[in-house]
Amino acid sequence: EDQVTQSPEALRLQEGESSSLNCSYTVSGLRGLFWYRQDPGKGPEFLFTLYSAGEEKEKERLKATLTKKESFLHITAPKPEDSATYLCAVQAGWEYGNKLVFGAGTILRVKS
Amino acid sequence: KAGVTQTPRYLIKTRGQQVTLSCSPISGHRSVSWYQQTPGQGLQFLFEYFSETQRNKGNFPGRFSGRQFSNSRSEMNVSTLELGDSALYLCASSKGLAGSETQYFGPGTRLLVL
């Protein structure tokens, strides 16, 4: 069974204090790893897709990396508006379709 | 380009009733998936539709069903509601069924079962 584990469960940072979120996965046949951001009461907002080990993608203060067993979401000099729940999800296996298996998420709070 | 839309945004029902939720995908997207989000279980896959056919199904009881129309719009139905069905129901759309496509989520329908 495909499993996705995110750590830490919650993270409190001061504005400008860089850190990383971890997503480890155990799947058979990774097809894609996705990062989403979710604000309270809203649907997940797409951030990145990573397909193969060694791949990196950046967007503003966020950078996502992928290895064969885990992915990291690096947040550089975060601002209060980066506060949200960050979700990691995988598409894996040989089933037809785009089914996502999600981790439980990391709740990030950035204080000014 | 308009995003995924879901109606209604909020619903209150009582146990035993049934409910129908609606989702309109991003224009040009032909695949629609549904997820249930609860504090205890997180985001869980319900089912995916493409070309009016269910292509994949999660581990939920038969009370949960869905359908897709020729314009790619989708509905999901939950019959004989239970208290545990209270959740945020999210719809996501993607262009096709390639298996590595990005899914874009709507704002969700929050269902409360009393």
The model's pLDDT over A27-82, given as tens digits with 9 standing for 90+, comes to: 888 999 999 999 999 999 999 999 999 999 999 999 999 999 999 999 999 999 99
Strand partners, B68: B74
Look at residue B100 and tell me whether its pLDDT is greater than 90: no
Between CA B32 and CA B67 the distance in angstroms is: 10
Q: What DSSP string describes A74-89? A: EE-S--GGG-EEEEEE
Using the Cβ of B53 and the Cβ atoms of chain A, whether some distance falls under 8 Å is answered with: no
**Considering CB atoms only, which of B100, B104, B107 is closest to A51?**
B100
Using the Cβ of B60 and the Cβ atoms of chain A, whether some distance falls under 8 Å is answered with: no
Task: Please list every residue in chain B whose beta carbon sits closer than 8 Å to the beta carbon of residue A102.
Answer: 42-44
Nearest CA in chain A to B89: A43
Q: Average pLDDT over chain A, rounded to whole?
A: 95
pLDDT classification of B2: cutoffs 50, 70, 90: confident
Check whether the bond before A8 is cis (ω within 30° of 0).
Answer: yes
Please report the pLDDT score of residue B96 as a whole number: 85
Between CA B31 and CA B92 the distance in angstroms is: 8
B43-83 pLDDT, tens digit each: 999 999 999 999 999 999 999 999 999 999 999 999 999 99
Task: Please list every residue in chain A whose beta carbon sits closer than 8 Å to the beta carbon of residue B105.
Answer: 36, 43-46
Residue A57 Cα, gap to closest chain B Cα (Å): 15
